[in-house]
């Protein structure tokens, strides 16, 4: 991934070609960074699995091969000046996209296997153990949001019904077509919903929740392991709630930069419930310690 990132940065610096309104090498650069972070985190999580050596080797090696092929296909499409995702325009692009879909489903299966393995590991302290488990679980759900992107949009189905075929099947933008105005770096749509946002947030639960588990391992000082574990669960369920709200917002074709009253109310309710639950746990911890 470091090699691909270096190539992509050179392509961004000297290249002039654009794909769906973005520099051709922007997508390979983003994927290289994301896959690099995911791979290191997955490897770290697997160090907490005792026994199951053959299964651990399978998860790590299959993930490495699948992610390498995925990245190679994305980079090759960028070099060819075409899109890698949802592209059924030619036999070659169809084959590339089908292969990518198979390999990313394989990566998801390996992530799910990791989450299941962590459920049966005795890791101390408990809050950290649950940070590992819940982080892997929410990550799998966030990754699964990507499967929704592969379904044909209403506009694509209508075009097919009129006999125009479907050279593109699927999209990450809900409402307008892919390729419109987006946020800097991420390219998240500012005109419609974007399923890449809950996908991104859910995917990075793999880092956020284990790190929070580390912080809760010996904090708050007056809290017992049960209180710390409860706080870890509150944080994980709140994080999952955020992923669900962002998915709901995207599916309503609403840009993340312009949330409506319903989205705002959902986020406020989520924050209020999480805050109240955390305060109750902390109050009980102080009362118990006193």
CA distance 108 to 160: 30
State the chain's mean pLDDT as an integer: 93
Structure tokens at 215: 């912080």
Identify the pLDDT of residue 185: 86
Between the CA atoms of 223, 226, 229 and 230, what dihedral angle is there, to the nearest 10 degrees? -90
Number of H helices, E strands in the chain: 10, 4
Between the CA atoms of 241, 37, 148 and 92, what dihedral angle is there, to the nearest 10 degrees? 170
Structure tokens at 95: 């084959």
Per-residue pLDDT reduced to its tens digit, 190-225: 999 999 999 999 999 999 999 999 999 988 888 999
Per-residue pLDDT reduced to its tens digit, 169-195: 999 999 998 888 999 888 999 999 999
Identify the pLDDT of residue 19: 84
Rounded to 5 degrees, what angle do the CA atoms 192, 194, 198 make? Answer: 145
Identify the CA nearest to 85 among candidates 203, 173, 180: 173
| Sequence-ordered list of residues with C-beta below 8 angstroms from that of 175, at least 6 positions apart, any chain | 189, 191, 192, 193, 253
Judged by DSSP in three states, 131 sits in helix
Identify the pLDDT of residue 289: 78
Per-residue pLDDT reduced to its tens digit, 69-101: 999 999 999 989 888 889 999 999 999 999 999
Identify the pLDDT of residue 290: 65
Which 3-state string (H, E, C) describes 17-36? CEECCEECCHHHHHHHHHHH
CA distance 26 to 23: 5
């Amino acid at each position: 991934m470091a090699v691909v990132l270096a190539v992509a940065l050179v392509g961004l610096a000297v290249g002039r070609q654009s794909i769906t309104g973005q520099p051709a090498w922007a997508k390979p650069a983003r994927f290289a960074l994301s896959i690099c972070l995911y791979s290191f985190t997955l490897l770290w999580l697997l160090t907490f699995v005792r026994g199951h050596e053959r299964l651990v080797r399978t998860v790590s090696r299959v993930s490495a091969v699948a992610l390498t092929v995925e990245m190679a296909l994305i980079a090759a499409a960028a070099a060819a000046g075409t899109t890698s995702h949802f592209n059924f325009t030619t036999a070659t692009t169809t084959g590339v996209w089908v292969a990518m879909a198979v390999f990313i489903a394989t990566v998801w299966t390996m992530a799910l296997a990791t989450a299941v393995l962590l459920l049966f590991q005795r890791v101390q302290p408990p809050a950290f153990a649950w940070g590992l488990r819940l982080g892997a679980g929410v990550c799998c759900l966030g990754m699964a949001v990507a499967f929704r992107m592969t379904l044909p949009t209403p506009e694509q189905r209508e075009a097919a019904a009129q006999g125009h075929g479907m050279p593109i099947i699927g999209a990450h933008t809900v409402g307008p077509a892919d390729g419109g105005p987006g946020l800097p770096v991420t390219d998240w749509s500012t005109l419609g919903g974007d399923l890449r946002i809950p996908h991104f947030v859910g995917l990075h639960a793999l880092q956020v929740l284990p790190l929070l588990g580390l912080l809760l391992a010996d904090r708050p000082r007056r809290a017992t392991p049960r209180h710390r574990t409860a706080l870890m669960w509150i944080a994980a369920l709140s994080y999952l709630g955020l992923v669900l709200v962002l998915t709901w917002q995207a599916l309503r074709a609403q840009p993340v930069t312009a949330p409506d009253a319903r989205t705002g109310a959902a986020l406020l309710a989520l924050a209020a419930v999480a805050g109240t639950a955390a305060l109750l746990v902390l109050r009980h911890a102080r009362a118990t310690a006193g």
